[in-house]
Amino acid sequence: MSTPRPLIAGNWKMNGLAASLGEVRALIGALEDRSPGCRVAICPPATLLERLACSATGSALEVGGQDCRAETTGAFTGDVSAEMLRDCGANLVILGHSERRAGYGESNSVVASKVEAALMAGLEPIVCVGESLTEREAGTALSVVTSQVRGSLPAVLAGRIFAVAYEPVWAIGTGLTPTIEQIEEMHRAIRETLTQMFGEAGRVPPILYGGSVKPSNASEILGACEVGGALVGGASLKAVDFLGIISAA
């Protein structure tokens, strides 16, 4: 089984209007010039997904959603299904982000059903896990995160293409990052859990790091053991910052 290329995915969260597509065009142009050794994706708000996917057609840029509903259709006002994301041109979807777990009460089992829906629709899930500051300070970070991995990844993922993103909640949008030792310790624990769950196939999925990744810390973080890419929030909104991270991969 060959190791997949690192994945650098930008999570725009609830940011971006039509004018932001200029950043995407700048990013696509730069990717053409540089042909980076990693996969690059942008996950915009649903309102921009189709336009961004159109701009990215024929380029190296991949496009993802930020969440989906587990059900395929129905009376779920305001929600978007995995098939709808795929229909707009997405090939990836972020699931179980801590902002969804905390803000919408998404449990591991809800995340796991969304992962199943994503696979059914032909989307590659990026499943997020991560401890809170209280859990880190209480010394329970490893057990919290490995139990999120066990609970959020359904058995049907065996042999399928997916990624896990380790995002300590206290590092998201704060400018704080764990030490490289803390990142490596957690990524090793996630890898071990993946191999316990999926056997040899558990060695393949990239484990991304997310939380205050920026051009100045990207090469150290991306060079750490078992770090297979990054999930980037704030620093993915401007092409120049995002490219600084991509070139470190």
- Active site residues per annotation: 97, 167
Q: Which stretch binds ligand PGA (CB under 6 A): 70-78, 150-158, 209-217, 221-229?
A: 209-217
CB of 78 to ligand PGA, least distance (A): 21
CB 97 within 8 A of CB 66: yes
At 143, which helix (H) or strand (E)? helix 141-152
Q: Does 121 bind ligand PGA (CB under 6 A)?
A: no
Centre a 10 Å sphere on the Cβ of residue 193 and count the other Cβ atoms it contains. Answer: 21
Residue type, 93: V
CA–CA separation, 217 and 209 (whole Å)? 12
Q: Does 159 bind ligand PGA (CB under 6 A)?
A: no
CB 178 within 8 A of CB 140: no
Q: Does 211 bind ligand PGA (CB under 6 A)?
A: yes
Q: Which stretch binds ligand PGA (CB under 6 A): 185-193, 200-208, 210-218, 220-228?
A: 210-218
Q: Which stretch binds ligand PGA (CB under 6 A): 44-52, 82-90, 139-147, 233-241?
A: 233-241
Q: Does 178 bind ligand PGA (CB under 6 A)?
A: no
CA–CA separation, 81 and 83 (whole Å)? 5
Q: Which of 117, 228, 233, 242 binds ligand PGA (CB under 6 A)?
A: 233
CB 225 within 8 A of CB 187: yes
Positions that interact with ligand PGA (CB under 6 A): 11, 167, 172-173, 210-213, 231-235
